[in-house]
Structure 1
Amino acid sequence: MTFSAGAHLIDDLPESDPPAYRRSLADLDIALAHPGHGLTFDGRRLRELARGGPADTRS
Structure 2
Amino acid sequence: MPFLDPDSGQQVTAQVPYVLSPFVIDRAAASVLVRHTTPGAPMRDVVIDTRLGARDNTVLLAP
Same fold, TM exceeding 0.5?
A: no
Greater percentage in helix:
1
- Which fold has the larger relative contact order, with Cα–Cα distance below 8 Å and residues 6 or more apart in sequence? 1
| Rg larger in structure | 2
- The interval holding the TM-score normalised by the smaller chain is under 0.3
The alignment's TM-score, normalised by the length of structure 1, stands at 0.22
Q: Which has the higher strand share?
A: 2
